[in-house]
Structure 1
Amino acid sequence: MTAADTIRHALDRVAALRSEAAGDARLLQGLKAVKRLQARRFAGTYGDLLATKAFAAPTHFFLHELYSERDFSDRDQQFARIAGALQTFFPAQVVSTAVALAELHAQTEVLDLAMAQAWCALDGNDVPRYINAWRSVGSLAIRQAQLQAVLDIGAQLDRLTRTPGLRMTLRMMRGPAKVAGLASLQAFLEAGFDTFAGMGGKGAQAREFLNTIAQRETHWIEALFNAPVVACETELHQCLGKAL
C-alpha cells in the first residue's frame, strides 16, 4: 500500500467512526465526554510545562494538535485531498511523518469510540466512569503502542527541522495552500515545524520534552489499568483539578 493509500484508508476509517457516533445522540455525547475528560487530564498533567519558556510552545502544540477534543474534520479532509501529492512535493521524511500522523489519528479514534461505548454502558460520576471504561477497552500493550506512536511523531518533527530548505518550502506553500483550501493543514505543518525548530540544544530540548511525555504518560497508562481504583480516582481528581 502506498503512503497516499495508507493516509486515505486511515482517514476514511476516522470519517466512518465519526459518522457512527453522529448517528447516535447518546454515543456522541459519550464520545464528547471522554474526549473532554482526556483533554482536561492532559492539561492537568502538563500544566507545569505550559508555564515554562522552553516547553510552553511544544506542550501547547501537543495539547491542541494531537490530544485536543477539537473537531479535526477540516484538516483531515484537506490531508486526504493532498495525500497523493505528498510523495511528489515533499521529502520522504515528511511523507513518513504524515503517514504516522494519519495512522495515529485513526488508532486514537478507534480507542475513543470504544471508550465512549463503554462509558454509555456505565453510570456514576465522571472519574470512576472513565476509569472503568478505560479498563474495559484495549490493553496495556495497545495503549503503550499508542504512546510510542505519539513519541515517534514528535521525534520525526524534530528531525524535520534539520532538513535543509524545508522551512522555506513550507513558507512558499502558504499562498497556494490557502487558494487550494488547505489552510488548516498548512497551519498544522508550520506549527509543528516551528514548535520543534524553536527548541534549542540541537535536539536536546526536544528529547527532554519527549522523555517527559514518555514518563508521565507511561505512569498514567499503568495507573489507569493497574492501580487500586480508589488511589487512581484520587490521583485523577487531583490532576483534573489542576486543569481548572
Structure 2
Amino acid sequence: MTHTPSAADRIRTHLDRVAQLRQQARSAGLDRAVDDVKRLQAQRFRATYADFLKHPAYAPATHFFLEELYGVHDFALRDAQFARIAGALERLFPEAVAQLAVDLAETHALTEVLDHAMATHWLTQDAGLPPGVRYTRAWRLTGEREARARQLAVVQHMGLELQRLTRMRPLRLALRMMRNPARAAGLDALQHFLESGFDAFASMRDAQTFLDTIRSREGRWIDLLFEAPEDEISQALTAELARASAGE
C-alpha cells in the first residue's frame, strides 16, 4: 500500500532540502554568489512590479512576496520554527492552512534549488560582464524550465489560498490571539510571516487580477530568458535593473 506523505512530512522534507543547500553553499563558498543572484532577482522584481508597489490595494501583497518569499534574508529561524510545529499545524488548523504551509515550503525549496544552481553558474562567468549578461548565461546553463513553471504555479495557488483564508474571520481572529503564545513558544518569526500574509491579502478585494498579472509578467520573463537572443534579453534585463536602481 502506497503511503501518502502528510502535510507535515512534506513541509519537513522541503525545509530539510533548504537547510542542506544552505550548508552546501557555505561549505563550497557559494553563499555570497547565492546572495548576489537573490539580490539581482529582487532588484528585477522591484522594477517589474513598481506599479504594484505604489498601488494602495496591491502594495502590501507585493511587499509580502518580495520580502517574505524572495527577499535576501536569512530565513533559517523561521524555517526552524516552521519545521518544529509542522505536525501541530496540521492538527490544529483547517486543511487549507496546512496546504498553504506546504505551498510555502515547496516554493522556498524550489527557489533555493534554482538559486543554488544559478550561483554555481554565476561564478563560472567573467565577473567583469554586465550583470544582465552574467545572469542570462547562468539562467540558461541552469535550465530547469519545468521547475520555473512549477515555482510560478505554486505561487499562484498560494495566493489564491491566502485570499480565501483571509475571508474566514474566525481564523484571522484566532491568528491574532496566537501572538502572545507564539512569542512565549519562540515562534515569533513564523507568527510574523503568517500575519503578514493574511494582512497583505486581506487588503485586496480580489487577488485574481494581482495573480494574473504576476503569471503574465513572470511567464514573459521566463520565455525571454530561455528563448530570446542573448543580446536582446541581456539588454532588457539590464534596462529593468537600471529602472529599479533609479527608483530606489
Q: TM-score, normalised by structure 2?
A: 0.93
Matched, 1:73 2:69: no
Give the unaligned 5+ runs of structure 2.
none
Which residue identity does 1:173 align to in structure 2? M
Distance in 2 separating the partners of 1:155 and 1:242: 30
Corresponding residue of 1:184 = 189
1:141: how far off?
A: 2.4
Corresponding residue of 1:42 = 45
1:163: how far off?
A: 2.3
Distance in 1 separating the partners of 2:48 and 2:71: 14
Residue deviations 1:118-155, cap 9 Å, x none? 11112133211110010111333221111111111111
Corresponding residue of 1:128 = 133
Matched, 1:24 2:22: no
Give the unaligned 5+ runs of structure 1.
none
RMSD value over aligned CA atoms?
A: 1.1
Corresponding residue of 2:100 = 97
Q: Provide the secondary structure at the position in 1 that maps to 2:142.
A: coil
Alignment partner of 2:17 out of 4, 13, 18: 13
1:164: how far off?
A: 4.2
Corresponding residue of 2:226 = 225
Asked if 1 retains the 8 angstrom alpha-carbon contact of 2:131 and 2:238, the reply is: no
Matched, 1:242 2:246: no
Residue deviations 1:155-202, cap 9 Å, x none? 1101111224101110111110000110010011011111111112xx
Corresponding residue of 1:167 = 172
1:31: how far off?
A: 0.9
Percent of counterpart pairs with the same letter? Answer: 52
1:42: how far off?
A: 0.6
Corresponding residue of 1:196 = 201
Distance in 2 separating the partners of 1:139 and 1:73: 25
Distance in 2 separating the partners of 1:186 and 1:8: 18
Residue deviations 1:98-126, cap 9 Å, x none? 01111111111111101111111121332
Q: Provide the secondary structure at the position in 1 that maps to 2:156.
A: helix
Aligned structure 1 segments of 4 or more residues deviating by more than 6 angstroms: none
Q: Provide the secondary structure at the position in 1 that maps to 2:178.
A: helix
1:33: how far off?
A: 1.0
User: How many residues were matched structurally?
Assistant: 239
Which residue identity does 2:68 align to in structure 1? E
